[in-house]
Structure 1
Amino acid sequence: MSKTVLIADDSRFLRNLIKNILFKEGYELFIEASDGAYAVSLYKERNPDIVLLDLTMPNLNGIDALKRIIEFDPEAKVIICSAMGQKRFILEAIQSGAKDFIIKPNFNELIPAIRKLFC
């Protein structure tokens, strides 16, 4: 799979877990960020096909990073992956431009959510 995936999460363990899930599905090109500000910078520099953003990160939270990415590229394919699955966070993420919201650590919906982006 030749799609580039930006994984932004302050937990190295979760970044690796997500990479392993995606690698098993054929994804091989990964960019990693441990904070929201770096994720925005990497998006602007590398223009990945998919962005997986956590909500709780240092330097810039996921919602603000999402807003900056969407402001830079309104067509960005961003999925929020967060343990903070309360309805208000999901609504704010979708209203801010996220294409989907996956509640960690249940990643069963991750691959179907990514596939939907490219149908």
Structure 2
Amino acid sequence: MANRILIVDDAAFMRMMIKDILTKNGFEVVGEAENGAQAVEKYAELKPDLVTMDITMPEKDGIAALKEIKASDSAAKIIMCSAMGQQAMVIDAIQAGAKDFIVKPFQADRVIEAISKVLSS
């Protein structure tokens, strides 16, 4: 069975890019969310195997959503997506329980490598 992934990013273009990379590599995208509040709801509803989470989003940022999801499911596998120059936030995210991070603009091989590594851990 294909691994089920939830994509969270406030930019529709970024969601489309990552969805394209994932579907071409045999992953199933089960849902998308455009902010942290939606991410928490969708995670509870869809129970994905993995979440890709943007760090900076309106309403609720990725780190707040990460902490909320981890509080309800300590086994949640979440990979943060960040733009260059957000190292401090990436460190916060890893300390809060993120399994890895990928940097924008996305490079397909790095995305697949990170996701495969986290799913097999």
TM-score if structure 1 supplies the norm length? Answer: 0.93
Q: Where does residue 110 of structure 1 map in the other structure?
A: 111
Conserved? CA contact 1:85–1:103, under 8 Å: no
Q: Where does residue 37 of structure 1 map in the other structure?
A: 37
CA separation in 1, counterparts of 2:93 and 2:57? Answer: 15
CA separation in 2, counterparts of 1:91 and 1:58? Answer: 20
1:66 pairs with 2:66: yes
Q: Where does residue 99 of structure 1 map in the other structure?
A: 99
Residue 85 of structure 1: how far off its partner (Å): 4.1
CA separation in 1, counterparts of 2:2 and 2:105? Answer: 26
RMSD: 1.3
Conserved? CA contact 2:77–2:118, under 8 Å: yes
- Within 5 A, what are the aligned runs for 1:2-41? 2-41=2-41
Structure 1 unaligned spans of 5+: none
Question: What does the per-residue CA deviation read over 1:35-73, in whole Å, with 9 as the maximum and x for residues that have no partner?
Answer: 110000110111100100001111100000000010010
CA separation in 2, counterparts of 1:76 and 1:85? Answer: 26
Runs of 4+ with >2 A deviation: 84-87
Aligned residues: 119
CA separation in 1, counterparts of 2:44 and 2:85? Answer: 27
Q: Where does residue 56 of structure 1 map in the other structure?
A: 56
1:46 pairs with 2:46: yes
CA separation in 2, counterparts of 1:84 and 1:64? Answer: 20
Among all aligned residue pairs of Structure 1 and Structure 2, give the percentage whose two residues are the same amino acid.
Answer: 50
TM-score if structure 2 supplies the norm length? Answer: 0.92
Conserved? CA contact 2:82–2:104, under 8 Å: yes
Conserved? CA contact 1:2–1:29, under 8 Å: no
Conserved? CA contact 1:36–1:61, under 8 Å: yes
Structure 2 unaligned spans of 5+: none
